[in-house]
């Protein structure tokens, strides 16, 4: 198995969509990117911790490639919105890819460049950050598989 970590707004929707990808064996909500070592949802949602809401994706590279996950990531949020997605505003909702190795970094950078050149978003720049993976802090249990547990439709915007 391999890992990939993405931030694309509210983690409930991101987790929900990644769970549906064939070859993804686990999608876990959590926090990454800040300096605090012990964080809670209450702290992260203030936007002062430096952490982003992220989903750590465990996947079988024999069944789904990292590049395929990147395509899915780009299609399911707006990478031109700085520190927000839809009605969620703050650095904790930023668009980010935390790469786990050199190959993921190269693939993420290449896919970001290809998206920018595609013209899909017009002249708006792709603001997604591509940064090294940091400590993953698992979100509280009630956030895991939140939409399904609460019989809710997706809260995530698709583009």
CATH code (residue 121): 3.30.1060.10
Position 87 confidence tier, pLDDT thresholds 50, 70, 90: confident
Kindly tell me if the per-residue pLDDT of 146 is higher than 80. Answer: no
pTM here is 0.93
Give the ranges where the chain is alpha helix by DSSP (H).
Answer: 11-19, 41-44, 66-75, 102-118, 146-149
**Does residue 98 register a pLDDT over 90?**
yes
Neighbouring CB atoms inside 10 A of 54's CB total 29
Quote the number of domains for the chain. Answer: 1
Range of the structural domain that residue 61 is part of: 2-149
- Show Cβ contacts of residue 86 under 8 Å, excluding neighbours closer than 6 positions: 9, 10, 156, 157
In a domain, 74, yes or no: yes
Asked, for residue 157, whether it belongs to a domain, the answer is no
Annotated active-site residue 155? The verdict is no
Q: Indicate which residue of 4, 7, 8, 10 is catalytic.
A: 10
């Amino acid at each position: 198995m391999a890992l990939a970590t993405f931030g694309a707004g509210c983690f409930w929707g991101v987790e929900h969509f990644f769970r549906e990808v064939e070859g993804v064996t686990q999608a876990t909500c959590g926090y990454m990117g800040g300096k605090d070592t012990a964080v809670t949802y209450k702290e992260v949602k203030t936007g002062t911790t430096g952490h982003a809401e992220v989903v750590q994706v465990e996947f079988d590279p024999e069944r789904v490639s990292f590049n395929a996950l990147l395509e899915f990531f780009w299609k399911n949020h707006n990478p031109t919105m700085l520190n927000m997605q839809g009605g969620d505003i703050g650095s904790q909702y930023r668009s980010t890819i935390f790469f786990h190795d050199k190959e993921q970094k190269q693939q993420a950078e290449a896919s970001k460049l290809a998206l920018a050149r595609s013209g899909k978003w017009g002249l708006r720049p792709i603001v997604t950050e591509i940064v090294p993976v940091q400590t993953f802090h698992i979100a509280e249990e009630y956030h895991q598989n939140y939409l399904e547990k609460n019989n809710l439709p997706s809260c995530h915007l698709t583009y």
